[in-house]
């Protein structure tokens, strides 16, 4: 069994970190104390500007970050004041280049002018750290009462990633497997587009699924040699073929004309059936990893972790209690970045050089 311990804090006993997140379409900043207490959390999403295009337009997202970043940071810092902030953490990858640049340039400038250490944060790793927040006096947050113990199995499911990661301790982790093609959130978004549900597709599919019959269609699960890898392109194509068949057309029928010929009931049944198989796909692998590695705790992270069907299936099939965080902390936010920043400070991880830090759009775990 992998040992379960935490290094004693080496320098500061209590630290307060400002987290800045701009990797996609959310301009976000938050302040976290000691890696467990959420002091502020501000998110401005440019999602409404992208809706008409059916997906995030990188240039529009970057411009929106430029307009919003200073007000968002000001609002996040206001309740505590700059003197209280011990360090700044910023997402430097993975993400959209133009979007990342805005957050990183702002954080570098603030680190230099406010004379604070700067921590470069991996966005995907940060998603997991949303689960370490256990306290807040902010209204409308429902947080777990204790933080996860190591070894920790993390199922990371977002618009850009589907991964299973085993954390032996902070900063000591192994990527067990990931998707070979689309991320699960991306598949939700694409299926929503096929059936004509609004962007972002994840919440739209989840809402439609409530009204549909999840056993109506049998979409296939990909069979892969690698125990912990996923594929979502097969089920997504199966949805397209099913929709074409339902309206009496074949595979040559254009996907963007489909939705207007599907009934509400057909859309709801497709949403429910797809959601069930997509969620089952990631939960199947999480169960296998749980049996193999016997972790002390299991968390789900990333935008799709807000999904109630995923929470239900994880609770039903993983034989330990899973503490889910507030759905608002599953989609992109600054709190997860600040939390990981706190742990970087606490465990003396190297700070970034604010004159040198560069973005890494393709950063992986
Ligand atoms: O983590 P996130 O905010 O951004 C990335 O890092 O990608 O995740 C966004 C993804 C989108 O694909 C969105 O459709 C999906 O998370 N999502 C959901 C739900 N809420 C957001 N998927 C399923 N059910 C939800 N309730
Ligand atoms: Zn994300």
Could you report the per-residue pLDDT of 267-288, keeping only the tens digit for each? Answer: 999 999 999 999 999 999 999 9
Assess contact for 33 and 16: CB atoms under 8 A. Answer: yes
Strand partners, 127: none
Rounded to whole angstroms, the maximal C-alpha distance in the chain is: 68
Banded model confidence at residue 14, pLDDT cuts 50, 70, 90:
confident
d(CA 204, CA 146) in angstroms, rounded, equals 31
Ligand 1 pocket test, pick from 99, 187, 188, 283 with the greatest ligand atom count within 8 Å of Cβ, gives 188
pLDDT band at 343 (very low <50, low <70, confident <90, very high): very high
Residue 327 CA to ligand 1 centre (angstroms): 10
- In this predicted structure, the answer to whether residue 243 has a pLDDT above a threshold of 70 is yes
* pLDDT for residue 225: 84
CA 190, CA 96: separation in Å to the nearest integer?
19
- Ligand 1 within 6 A of 87 CB? no
The answer, yes or no, to whether any atom of ligand 1 lies below 6 A from the CB of 122, is: no
Q: What is the dihedral of CA 124, 197, 72, 35, to 10 degrees?
A: -30
Place of tokens 């209204």: 139
Q: Tell which one of 123, 129, 303, 335 to mutate to probe ligand 1, the residue whose CB is within 8 A of the most ligand atoms.
A: 303
Q: What is the pTM of this model?
A: 0.94
State the pLDDT at residue 12: 57
Q: In angstroms, what CA-CA distances link 360 with 81, 86, 99, 144?
A: 30, 25, 11, 32
Using CA of residue 198, residue 199, residue 201, residue 206, what is the dihedral sign? Answer: negative
The 10s digit of each residue's pLDDT in 176-225 is: 999 999 999 999 999 999 999 998 999 999 999 999 999 999 999 888 88
283 lines ligand 1 (CB under 6 A): no
């Amino acid at each position: 069994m992998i040992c379960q311990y935490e290094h004693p804090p080496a320098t500061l006993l209590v630290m307060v970190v400002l987290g800045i997140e701009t990797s996609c379409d959310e301009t976000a900043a938050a302040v976290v104390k000691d890696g467990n207490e959420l002091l502020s959390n501000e998110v401005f999403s440019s999602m409404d500007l992208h809706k008409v295009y059916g997906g995030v337009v990188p240039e529009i997202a970057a411009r929106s970050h430029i307009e919003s970043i200073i007000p968002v940071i000001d609002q996040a810092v206001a309740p505590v004041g700059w003197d209280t902030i011990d360090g700044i953490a910023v997402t430097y990858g993975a993400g959209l280049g133009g979007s990342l640049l805005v957050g990183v340039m702002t954080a570098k400038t603030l680190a230099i002018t406010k004379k604070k250490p700067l921590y470069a944060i991996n966005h995907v790793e940060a998603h997991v750290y949303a689960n370490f927040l256990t306290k807040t006096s902010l209204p409308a947050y429902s947080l777990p009462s204790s933080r996860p113990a190591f070894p920790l199995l993390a199922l990371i499911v977002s618009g850009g990633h589907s991964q299973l990661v085993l954390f032996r301790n902070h900063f000591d982790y192994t990527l067990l497997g990931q998707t070979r093609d689309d991320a699960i959130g991306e598949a939700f978004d694409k299926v929503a587009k096929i059936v004509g549900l609004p962007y972002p597709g994840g919440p739209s599919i989840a809402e439609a699924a409530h009204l549909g019959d999840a056993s109506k269609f049998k979409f296939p699960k990909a069979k892969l040699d690698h125990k912990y890898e996923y594929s979502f392109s097969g089920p997504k194509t199966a949805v397209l073929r099913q929709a074409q068949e339902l309206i009496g057309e074949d595979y040559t029928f254009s996907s963007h004309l489909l939705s207007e010929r599907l009934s509400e009931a057909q859309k709801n049944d497709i949403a429910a059936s797809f959601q069930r198989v997509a969620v089952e796909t990631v939960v199947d692998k999480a169960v296998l990893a749980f049996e193999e590695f016997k972790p002390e705790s299991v968390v789900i992270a990333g935008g799709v972790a807000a999904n109630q069907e995923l929470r239900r299936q994880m609770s039903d099939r993983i034989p330990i209690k899973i503490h889910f965080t507030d759905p608002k902390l599953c989609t992109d936010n600054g709190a997860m970045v600040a939390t990981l920043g706190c742990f970087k400070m606490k465990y003396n991880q190297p700070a970034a050089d604010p004159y040198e830090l560069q973005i890494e759009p393709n950063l992986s775990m």
